[in-house]
Structure 1
Amino acid sequence: MYRSVLFLLLALALMGSMLSRTNAADQAKLYQKVAAASFEVHANGRLAGSGWFAPEKGWAFTAFHVVGSRNKALELHNGKKSWKAVVHAIYPLYDVALLKVEGETPEGLAFEEQFSPVGEELYLYGAPLYRHGVWLPGRVARPDLTYEWMAELKGAIGCFHVAGHAPKGVSGGPWVNSQGELVGLQSGTMSLGNAQQGISFVTPASAMIALLETKKDFPVLSLGCAFEELAEQPPSFLNKLSKEQTGVVLKVVMQDGPLGKAGLQDGDILVSLDGVELKTRNDAYAAVQKLDSKKPAKLVVLRAGDQAKILELAPVKLF
């Protein structure tokens, strides 16, 4: 009996070792595949971020905040190879830029066929802090899309969360699954001050598919502010409100934006937008994108200690 148990334990240990070596070999092949389809983005001789080649020849992607504008001339570097490229179209709501690349491009990354489930292991390829060809692991951390404020764009981005670190320099890099399919593009990170919190903001593949199909800009609307939820606020703020109060709190109100020009300020509460009651930041950001820049929307706004008031104003198009 003792010998049988010992033999079983040794067999399991051997199998585990073999599986580990097989996984490492698969990882090495996956790394080489993704590395061949990726590049570093250089602007005016400086390494600005990462990117990857689309499945359609002659096209590539990076993060919009990496390049910052349309028609910008870039150089793409992959080892000893380099290409000239220009920003052809943008989708700022998802922090994506479509690049038109000169010359023959390598085989690109295929898009995933369906949204990755929570817990699926993903891998990010990029150039963190001027280091080259780095492979970083992560896992899908939520089952749906959300919105996150991005200061560089002065607006919110649509994304999903990945549990994994993404240092500066990997923006625009590809997140792939174990089959090497493109799951998303690295955009931003959850941070407190300068300290990352281990959550990455990743643009979904659907945004890149739409941009590649149309090859045209997608507009993004803004009221000129960020939104926070009531549950995020300190007791000194909440104590001034009734327990039944709903809405989202205005933050980073830009004086030259629609809300700033209307006299609103940080700390005001947006209760509803064009008849849509707001409870979460996602409610607010999604409602803004459904507005019309040529048609005023009705806002119900509350300032602590004052009566709610109704405003009518239109959002503006960014970029």
Structure 2
Amino acid sequence: MLYIMNWSNLALALSFLICGATLCPAPEKTPSLYRRTISSSVEVLVNGRIAGTGAVVDANGTVLTACHVIRTGERYEARSSTAKRTPMELIATDRSHDIALLRLPKREKPYPFLPFAKTIPAEGRPAHLLGTPIFRHRLLLTGFVARREPLFEWYDGCFMEGYSLTGVVAGGTSGAAWVNGKGEIIGVQVAAMTVGEAPKGVVTSAPLKAIRSLCENRKTVVAPTMQAAVEELWAQGPEFIDNAPANAKGLVFRQVDAKGVAGEAGIRNGDLLLKMGKQSYETVTGFMRALRRRKPGDKIRLSVSSARGQARREVVFPLAELK
């Protein structure tokens, strides 16, 4: 019997065998981290200009971003990889953690969204962020969790509470969601450590607990503020420390708003905060945690002196609203 070899059919059969065995990759069972974050992220435009990034956090189109991103204007839009520029409405803000919620228009088709993680990864674990640094669209950046315990940072005219990561970010990434390797939200990019304008590789994220709370309650959070910053004494320059009272304990007033409640009570930049009530504080975080347990309108009593320890006095004033 005579067999005639059909080379085209043989080549086709071999290609199927080879691809099935090793060489041809199988279709993705789940989208990559990059694809998941892109489909659920938006660029946030304020008054027509890209001001930051946001993440869709539910199927109804709720967008999470940084509060300082939307404070620069009153007209909000979203721009994504799949949608045209779309108007958004403001739902709620929380300046004490620098986060905000906006709403995309209602539609029949559910919006793709990023779920929340149960916990923040341990220190040293990687985290990822999809943002628009300096108008470079949809870049996936990587950092590492540096400390899960929240600290207080002075930013955008107030103290905000957040936790630290290592990573280099730039303008346009504010409001972007930090996610774990599964694409679950673990935080929101809100601030970066800089000296002058140079980034130093340490950034701040809003805490996961505060994000969850705002998304669940969907109401603007009003926190107390004395409309002034404080710094730790050992963070001051050599001359300031040399002129301070011997064995001084306390904090140093900075960024005092002359028209704010602390300024109107006679507190000036460089004054020493010796006590609040009967308690002295040496760290910003310890003092701010005590202050944030109070409510706007509550009166606080502070023991204050000049930077050299002179003009010691008691001042009493009501806390203002931070909103």
Please tell me whether the aligned partners of residues 272 and 309 of structure 2 are also in contact (alpha carbons under 8 angstroms): no
Please tell me whether the aligned partners of residues 276 and 301 of structure 2 are also in contact (alpha carbons under 8 angstroms): yes
CA gap of 1:260–1:306, structure 2 versus 1, over 3 A, is same
Question: What is aligned with 2:129?
Answer: 124
* CA drift at 1:127: 0.6
Higher helix share: 1
**Which range is displaced more, 74-83 or 136-145?**
74-83
Please tell me whether the aligned partners of residues 58 and 111 of structure 2 are also in contact (alpha carbons under 8 angstroms): no
Question: What is aligned with 1:286?
Answer: 289
Q: Distance in 1 between matches of 2:72 and 2:276?
A: 30
Question: What is aligned with 1:74?
Answer: 76
Q: Which of 259, 273, 286 in structure 1 is aligned with 2:262?
A: 259
Gaps of 5+ in 2: 1-24
Question: What is aligned with 2:315?
Answer: 311
1:190 corresponds to 2:193: yes
1:273 corresponds to 2:276: yes
1:141 corresponds to 2:159: no
Q: Which of 115, 121, 133 in structure 1 is aligned with 2:120?
A: 115
Q: Distance in 1 between matches of 2:189 and 2:278?
A: 34
Q: Distance in 2 between matches of 1:95 and 1:27?
A: 33
* CA drift at 1:125: 0.5
Question: What is aligned with 1:55?
Answer: 58
What per-residue deviation string (whole Å, max 9, x for no partner) do you get for residues 35-86 of structure 1?
111010112221111000013523111111000179x441111124043211
* CA drift at 1:290: 1.9
Matches within 5 A, 1:27-106: 29-68=32-71, 72-82=74-84, 83-104=86-107, 105-106=110-111
1:227 corresponds to 2:241: no
Please tell me whether the aligned partners of residues 223 and 296 of structure 2 are also in contact (alpha carbons under 8 angstroms): no
* CA drift at 1:27: 12
| TM-score when normalising by structure 2 | 0.86
Give the partner amino acid of 1:140: V
Q: Distance in 1 between matches of 2:222 and 2:304?
A: 26
* CA drift at 1:26: 11
* CA drift at 1:28: 7.8
Please tell me whether the aligned partners of residues 291 and 297 of structure 1 are also in contact (alpha carbons under 8 angstroms): no
Q: Which of 180, 188, 195 in structure 1 is aligned with 2:183?
A: 180
1:213 corresponds to 2:216: yes
**Higher Cα radius of gyration:** 2
3-state DSSP class of the match of 1:285? helix
* CA drift at 1:307: 4.7
Task: Name segments (4+ residues, structure 1) moved above 6 Å.
Answer: 25-28
Indicate the percent of aligned positions where both proteins have the same amino acid: 27
Q: Distance in 2 between matches of 1:232 and 1:39?
A: 39
* CA drift at 1:305: 3.8
Give the partner amino acid of 1:315: L
**Which range is displaced more, 171-180 or 80-89?**
80-89
What per-residue deviation string (whole Å, max 9, x for no partner) do you get for residues 255-302 of structure 1?
011111112111111112233321101122222212232231111112
Q: Distance in 2 between matches of 1:221 and 1:69?
A: 22
3-state DSSP class of the match of 2:210? helix
Give the partner amino acid of 1:159: G
3-state DSSP class of the match of 2:32? helix
CA gap of 1:269–1:27, structure 2 versus 1, over 3 A, is farther
Q: Distance in 2 between matches of 1:137 and 1:188?
A: 16
Please tell me whether the aligned partners of residues 69 and 87 of structure 1 are also in contact (alpha carbons under 8 angstroms): no
Residues paired across the two proteins, number = 293
What is the RMSD computed on CA atoms of the aligned residues?
2.1
Please tell me whether the aligned partners of residues 57 and 107 of structure 1 are also in contact (alpha carbons under 8 angstroms): no
**Which range is displaced more, 61-70 or 48-57?**
61-70
Gaps of 5+ in 1: 1-21
Please tell me whether the aligned partners of residues 73 and 87 of structure 1 are also in contact (alpha carbons under 8 angstroms): no
Please tell me whether the aligned partners of residues 158 and 227 of structure 2 are also in contact (alpha carbons under 8 angstroms): yes
3-state DSSP class of the match of 1:137? strand
3-state DSSP class of the match of 1:249? strand
Q: Distance in 2 between matches of 1:262 and 1:212?
A: 37
